[in-house]
Amino acid sequence: MDTNLTMLERFTRSMQLKEVDKVPVCSVTQTGTMDLMELTGTSWPKAFTDPVEMAALSMAGYEIAGLEGVRFPFSSPDIPQAFGCSYSSGTNNSPPYQTDFPCKNPEDVGNVVIPDNLYESPGMKAMIETTDILRKQIDDKGYELPLICGILGPASFASCVAGVNNYLMWSVKEQDALQKLIDLGGDVCAEYANVLYDHGVDSVVIIDSESGPDLFPPPLFEPMFLQVYKKMAAKMKGLNILHMCGDATLILEPMAKSGFMGISLEEKTDMGYASRVIGNEVCLIGNVSPANELLLQSPSAIKAAAKKCIEDGTRILAPGCGIAPYTPLAKLKAFVEARDEYYSEKN
């Protein structure tokens, strides 16, 4: 096995289920922390929307913390805002939250259409500009690592546009209306992902926990989402990942058939079990707890959790969800060090 793989080669080969010298260690979810903001002179909420600050803070995940990838953004209201959803601006330590949505009734779904100037909407325009900045910086500095972007998926889109309460009620009482939103979301997200690939992103993460068992009835996952995911994955031009918060145990097998190359799992899903069930079909990513481990535990405990995750079968070592803003830099570095220690001890 070639032991001189670049970080990008290692990430790509892992996604393709090919042999690597060691699993990549990165984050496919948000990476902004207070320590990294202080060291880079950036801050939330500005870094949520300003391309220059977003890029600077994103680069810090690699340049300062050592994560083997550059991941952005730090919140994802860009698609819902383009379709009429309203959000707060966020604070210095928390992301924006949704304040309003356009579909109050099932009849409103017919009014939801793709805007002609979709990519001129402020949030999506900022994302594209950030991609351009990061692609240039990575290339100019000679970094051979993956540029990873997270966007909301079709379930998240439908939940935002209809509101969470309607989303849940319509899954039972107004399935046709909800399915129209889900289908539209799938088309929008796949097209948007391809625009981001064209601007230089290597991997797009579809964040879609609203289709998971913690929120959505598991028996409806296959009839309402599986074909949408397959269509999306077939359209997407680059490396693609489906991220699922919560306990995804009940939908692991259909998720593996969704067409996505990678499945990112929160720590509520047992990595060992997931590896036994679907580990030969998709690239499993995760799933050290960002709160119970990275934020709250000692560096030695974090290293133990990370090494166990590798032993359990993850193909890309990563936090199970977004990194908590107050996670100390020393703990992120311990997380990265754990991967190298694992292989040193193994050999």
Query: CA end-to-end span of the chain, whole Å?
Result: 14
Q: Per-residue pLDDT for 306 more than 80? A: yes
Q: Which CATH number fits domain 7-346: 3.30.540.10, 3.30.479.10, 3.20.20.210, 3.40.50.2300?
A: 3.20.20.210
Angle (deg, nearest 10), helices 122-140 and 51-63: 40
Q: Lowest-pLDDT range, 2-11, 23-32, 48-57, 280-289?
A: 2-11
- Look over the chain and give the mean of its residue pLDDT values, rounded to a whole number: 97
Burial 293-304 (b: 16+ CB within 10 A, else e): bbbebebeebbe
Please give the pLDDT value at position 2. 64
Reported confidence tier of residue 333, pLDDT bands at 50, 70, 90 = very high
β-pairing verdict for 316-319 and 283-288: parallel
pLDDT digits (tens, 9 = 90+) for 109-141: 999 999 999 999 999 999 999 999 999 999 999
Please give the pLDDT value at position 4. 87
Q: Which residue has the tokens 């939330």?
A: 44
Please give the pLDDT value at position 1. 62
**H helices of the chain, where?**
7-15, 34-40, 46-49, 51-63, 78-82, 122-140, 154-162, 164-173, 175-198, 221, 227-235, 252-256, 271-278, 299-312, 329-346
Q: Which residues have a Cβ under 8 Å from the Cβ of 240 and sit 6 or more positions away?
A: 193, 203, 204, 205, 206, 232, 233, 260, 261, 262
Please give the pLDDT value at position 67. 98
Q: Which two tokens stand for residue 34?
A: 């207070």
Q: Per-residue pLDDT for 220 more than 70? A: yes
pLDDT digits (tens, 9 = 90+) for 37-49: 999 999 999 999 9
Q: Are 221 and 210 in contact (CB under 8 A)?
A: no
Please give the pLDDT value at position 83. 98
pLDDT digits (tens, 9 = 90+) for 180-219: 999 999 999 999 999 999 999 999 999 999 999 999 999 9
pLDDT digits (tens, 9 = 90+) for 126-180: 999 999 999 999 999 999 999 999 999 999 999 999 999 999 999 999 999 999 9
Q: Which residues have a Cβ under 8 Å from the Cβ of 296 and sit 6 or more positions away?
A: none
φ, ψ at 221 (rounded to 5°): -60, -50
